Amino acid sequence: MRLTSSALSFRLLILIFIFSCKALALKPRFLGRNTDQSFSQHRSVSYNTLYIDQQIDHFGFLENGTFKQRYLLNDQHWHKDGGPILFYTGNEGDITWFCNNTGFMWDVAEELGALLVFAEHRYYGESLPFGEESYSNAKYLNYLTSEQVLADFAVLIKALKKSQPGAEKSSVIAIGGSYGGMLAAWLRMKYPNAVVGALAASAPIWQFIVPCGEFYRVVTRDFTISGSNCSSSIRSSWAAIDRLSATGEGLQWLSQTFGLCGPLKSQEDVFGFKAWLQETWVNLAMVDYPYEADFLQPLPAWPVKVVCKNLQFNKGVSDKQLLNGVSQAVRVYYNYTGDAVCLNTSKTATGNLGFLGWFYQCPQILEGCMLCLSDASASFRHWLRRRDMRCSMILFFSVLRNPVFIELHGNGDAHVY
């Protein structure tokens, strides 16, 4: 018996829920090693690379130019008589990288008879509104906002339903992870006519209404349970860095001990160095998988446990002993393969992520509060000023924050459609 459109949509949502519960469950801390490998290691993926003309500005009339947005499409298992469309809302990076690391969609495509679509985020990868000039000034970057991105996705979905035979009656599920998961949820909220549901994996939508710094407390807990004195050693390292960096000799020692590609010369360099370390600990917690993986960097199984073997210091350890351990710990993340000649403090993850674009977006996407790992004592306002300053320094022009963006786009309030 042929399912009606509404019945198919309901069945699809149930299946998505079942699979997502399995795929997104918290990683159990079991003994022994899981022999499964990351998705990109055990399966090759195939897709067609396509482009759609998008308005540079969906909401105004002064800029009437267009650009080509890239998207990837796989119809290998698609039931063209109404099979669902799984639509990946691209993150801050090259869409092919996310496509190759999103195993869940490929795993369920055959059972659901789904069309897979991976849409690239504007200003990342090949989807550059002003070509090589896209990052040259604030005027061109003015159109790098989440509102414009959501409109891109909605336009693409509408176009797909017209261009793909049989897609007109297909239900669309938005899928994304991290920032892409936030976009998936917001797409469902802002354009409920375009998608019937959204699966947001590890998307910090609720972070804006929980106690400030809760995310970093979770990160800290991961290091606390992964090794004796591990999190306390990291906490002590911030003051040790401050003491050593107070002199030129100390700056030189830090640069050599950590094998930095560029030496630390000023307190502003030290601020960037500490931010680099802090992001390293966060990334390690996020990719603390029970198997070898290479999502952000090539890493061993349970990388936080491996890192913590270098951070088991008792009170009374000297600053240099402590920071020697920290330097060995970060090498697990940045040089597990042994190929790195030096450590670049301007890079914390794969080059497939868009560094400049994300720093422009960071004032709009306020995804953090106090740096709990660093025992920061400054106020939240001071933290925001420092973050805005770093964003502006990297881009070489001032960046203004939009603090109400999250409130207007659903920061955890109930939405019913």
Question: 203 with 227, same domain?
Answer: no
Question: 201 with 221, same domain?
Answer: no
For residue 407, being part of any structural domain is answered with: no
Q: Can you read off the two tokens belonging to residue 266?
A: 């000023």
Distance CA 123, CA 136 (A): 12
Q: Can you read off the two tokens belonging to residue 387?
A: 């973050």
Question: 51 with 69, same domain?
Answer: yes
pLDDT single digits (tens) 115-154:
999 999 999 999 999 999 998 888 898 899 899 999 999 9
pLDDT single digits (tens) 373-386:
444 334 445 445 55
φ, ψ (nearest 5 deg) of residue 369: -130, -120
- Split into its structural domains, the chain has a count of 2
Q: What is the CATH number of the domain that holds 331?
A: 1.20.120.980
Provide the residue range defining the domain that includes 218: 214-395
Question: 120 with 239, same domain?
Answer: no
Question: 260 with 161, same domain?
Answer: no
For residue 35, being part of any structural domain is answered with: no
Strands 172-177 and 85-89 come out as parallel
Question: 279 with 386, same domain?
Answer: yes
For residue 312, being part of any structural domain is answered with: yes
Question: 244 with 314, same domain?
Answer: yes
Q: What is the CATH number of the domain that holds 86?
A: 3.40.50.1820
Question: 283 with 148, same domain?
Answer: no
* Closest to 158 in 3D by CA, of 125, 123, 191, 110: 191
For residue 33, being part of any structural domain is answered with: no
For residue 270, being part of any structural domain is answered with: yes
* Vertex 408: Cα angle to 402 and 410 (nearest 5): 120
User: At 346, is the pLDDT very low, low, confident or very high (cuts 50, 70, 90)?
Assistant: confident
For residue 71, being part of any structural domain is answered with: yes
For residue 408, being part of any structural domain is answered with: no
Question: 218 with 163, same domain?
Answer: no
Question: 309 with 376, same domain?
Answer: yes
For residue 410, being part of any structural domain is answered with: no
DSSP string, 212-257: TTHHHHHHHHHHHTTSTTHHHHHHHHHHHHHHHTTSHHHHHHHHHH
Residue 114 has pLDDT above 80, yes or no: yes
Question: 292 with 149, same domain?
Answer: no
Residue 162 has pLDDT above 70, yes or no: yes
Distance CA 181, CA 201 (A): 6
pLDDT single digits (tens) 224-266:
999 999 999 999 999 999 999 999 999 999 999 999 999 999 9
Question: 122 with 270, same domain?
Answer: no
